[in-house]
């Protein structure tokens, strides 16, 4: 399949055949050492969760082609940082120990960096709020929610604080 046409991709079976052809081309390209995208699952392309019916054919093909164009860019992303790494980087940046971030202390010199660590863990990792709370001192998910909201609020009000958070995001590899 060299060209994708609307008439060629009418059903899920057509997409499966096309995905199989892509896998075969991938093997061929691998032999040539050329990077290739992984086929996206058909359900993500032809079904929109907002609606209870499949998308129109033109929209399906448009999404599929857009995915093919973006596949190379997303494949180059580094893995998400661990919560432990986030705690280490935040501690180093704000000159406090990781144990301080994980402690129960409510001192201002510790609470803001702890909240930033929770915000970064929420934005940069696939972890849920309860998981982040368990990692950062065994806290409740509502504490993580409060931290995320508080950091967002302070970033809007204080450009210097936003610059600090942006620098930490940059050091950790950026938001995915």
pLDDT at residue 34, as a whole number: 47
The more confidently predicted of residues 146 and 50 is: 146
Pick the CATH number of 83-171 from 3.90.1300.10, 1.10.10.10, 1.10.1750.10, 3.20.20.140: 1.10.1750.10
Is the pLDDT reported for residue 103 higher than 90?
yes
User: What is the average pLDDT across 68-90?
Assistant: 76
Q: Where are the alpha helices (DSSP H) in the chain?
A: 12-31, 42-46, 57-75, 83-94, 98-102, 108-124, 129-135, 141-157, 159-171
Residue 91: which of 104, 108, 63, 110 has the closest Cα? Answer: 110
**Average pLDDT of every residue of the chain:** 79
- Would you say residue 14 has pLDDT above 50? yes
Q: Where are the domains of the chain?
A: 6-75, 83-171
Q: How far, in Å, CA of 20 to CA of 128, rounded?
A: 34
Instruction: Quote the pLDDT of residue 19.
Output: 73
pTM: 0.58
């Amino acid at each position: 399949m060299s060209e994708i046409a609307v008439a060629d991709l009418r059903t899920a079976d057509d997409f499966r055949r096309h995905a199989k052809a892509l896998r075969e081309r991938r093997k061929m390209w691998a032999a040539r050492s050329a990077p290739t995208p992984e086929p996206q699952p058909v359900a993500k392309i032809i079904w929109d969760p907002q609606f209870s019916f499949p998308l129109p054919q033109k929209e399906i093909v448009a999404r599929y082609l857009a995915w093919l164009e973006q596949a190379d860019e997303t494949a180059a992303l580094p893995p998400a940082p661990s919560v432990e790494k986030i705690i280490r980087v935040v501690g180093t940046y704000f000159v406090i120990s990781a144990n301080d971030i994980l402690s129960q202390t409510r001192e201002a010199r510790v609470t803001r960096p702890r909240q930033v660590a929770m915000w970064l863990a929420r934005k940069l990792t696939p972890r849920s709020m309860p998981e982040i709370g368990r990692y950062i001192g065994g806290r409740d998910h509502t504490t993580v929610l409060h931290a995320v909201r508080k950091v967002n609020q302070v970033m809007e009000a204080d450009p210097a604080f936003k610059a600090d958070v942006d620098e930490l995001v940059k050091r950790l590899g950026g938001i995915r």
